Amino acid sequence: MPNVLKTIKDLLSHLSEDERLELQAYLKRDQDISLEELLRVKANAHGLACPECGSTHVVRNGKRNGMQRYFCKRCKKSFNELHDTFLQRSQKDLSVWKTYIQCMVDGKTIRNSAIICDISPSTAFYWRHKILDIVYKY
């Protein structure tokens, strides 16, 4: 994966100023994606596997708050589709997260991001590290 990032950085360095502005405008467009679409993308990318042991022997195990739960037959753990995502254990909507991530991309401070997203500075700090941990992991 680091080679892909290096390639992208090399390509970006060759863009003209107009091309950079066009790319920034494209990236800032509101790419409206629903939570269901996001989960579908995650499931297609990684397949449905137990986050604890990696087994694919999982079965549906009811719903909680409208979210499908799964049960691993191998390690007997229960989990939902949001496991190992930034939305895990979050009480905020996806739109607040998108706004917060945009604040990070724009280089806003934790305090300013908290004000824009209507969350506490400690939550903004926690979210920033949660996102950076996931980025680092992948």
Mean pLDDT across the stretch 46-69? 82
pLDDT at 107 over 50: yes
Q: For 3-24, how does the pLDDT look when each residue is reduced to its tens digit (9 = 90+)?
A: 656 777 677 777 788 877 777 7
Domain ranges of the chain: 34-85, 86-138
Residue whose C-alpha is closest to residue 70's, from 91, 47, 97, 93: 47
Indicate the average pLDDT of the chain: 79
Indicate the burial class of 124 (C-beta count within 10 angstroms; 0-12, 13-18, 19 or more): buried
Instruction: Give the predicted TM-score (pTM) of the model.
Output: 0.54
